[in-house]
Structure 1
C-alpha cells in the first residue's frame, strides 16, 4: 500500500482513476473498492488522497466515515492537509470553487479527530455528543446543498442553454375598417350646406342651367389623385340651393355607379369622399 504523499491531477490526458472494472476506485484498509455507491457523486476532478488506511477520492472517504464503515481515528488528517495544499496548486483557476469545498471537508475532519483525541472525563462522556454524529449531520447538510446546487446547474441558463431573440418583429399594419355612412348623416350634411347656401340668395339673378352629368365629371376631376376629400368641400354656397342640390345628386349618382365611395374615420365624424380604384 502506498504511504507516501502524492496528489493525482485528474485533468491530465491519462486520468489516474480508470474506468470501472479495470482497477479499483479506492482501497480501504487494504480492501479494494471496485464499485462506487449509487448515492454518491464524485466530481470529475476530485481530490485523491493516499493514506495508510485509505486511498481514493476524499468524497468517498467522508462517505465511509459517515456510514461508520471507517474509523476516523485511523485517518491521518495532517497528511490530507498536505495533499490538499498540493491539490490547490495544481487545480486550474476555474476549479477553485471545488478546491474550496475540499478545504471545508478537511477542516471538519481535523476538528472531529482533535475532539476524539482529547481526554474527556466520564461525566463529560455521558453528556457530550459524539463528535462523529456532528460530522454526519454536517456531511448530510453539505450533501443537500451540493445536490441542490447540481439541480440548479442543470436548469436552462440564459447565455449557456438559451439565448434571447434578437430578431425584430415585423411591422404589422392592421386594416382599420371605416364605419358605414348612414343616409341620415348624409342628409344632415346636406342640410348644413343648404343652410349656408341660403345666405348668398339675398336677391335673384339669372343663372346658367346646371347639368347633373357635367357636375359628376367636375366632382371626379376634383377627386383624381387625392385620397380623401371632405364632403362639404364639393359644394359652393355661391351657387345657392340649386347648385347644392345638383352637386348632391351628382355625388349620389357617382355612388350608385360605384365610381366614388363615402367614408367616415369615426362615428358621427366628418364625411369624406374618395374615388374608387379598380
Structure 2
C-alpha cells in the first residue's frame, strides 16, 4: 500500500481516510493537494503501475475531496447521486482491473504460441451417437417416410393483383391534360380514377405540381369546384 507523508500524518492512505471518517483527524489540517502531488511523483518513479493501487488511490482521493468539501462548505448539499458517483467510480476501476488482468493473461498465452482455445465440454450436454452401418438408401427411405407423413400440398386460390398508378405517372397525366386545355377542373382529373387509391394518388400528384409551382389552383368557395391552371 502506498504511504503518504504529511505534517500531521504519515502512513497508508486508507488509514488516513479511516482516521478522518472517525473524526480522529481534522480534514482541514490535511493538504489534499500535497497528497496528490506526492502520489504523482511516486507514479513518475514507478515503472510498473499496479492498476489495483491506482484504483484504490482514486477512490480514497474522491472520498477525501467529498469530506473536505462538506467541512469547508457546510451549506453545500451533497445528494445521493454524488455518493453513488464515487461508488460507481470504484466499480468501474475494479472492472478495469479485471479486464486489464485478463488482457495480460491473453497476451502471455499468445506469446507462448497458444492462439486457439477449446470450448470446455459441458457435462450436461446431450451426446448423439450415429450408427456406423447406415447407407444412402436408408437415408432416402427415411426422407421419403418423412415427406409422406407431411400434409399434402394444397393449391392456393389465385389472387389478382391490381396495378396501382404511381404519383409520377399521374403527374405526367395531369401535365398532358393542362398542356392541351390550359386549365381544367379537378373533378375531370378524378373522373378517370378507377378506385379510391387512384383518386388519392391524383390528389397527391396535384399537390406535388403545386409545390413545384408548375400549376396553380383556384377554389371560389368552400367545397366548391377546384380549377387547375398551368403556371405562366
Task: Provide the TM-score with structure 2 as the length reference.
Answer: 0.35
If each structure's helix is expressed as a fraction of its own residues, which one has the higher value?
2
Task: Provide the TM-score with structure 1 as the length reference.
Answer: 0.30
Compare CA radii of gyration and give the structure with the larger one: 1
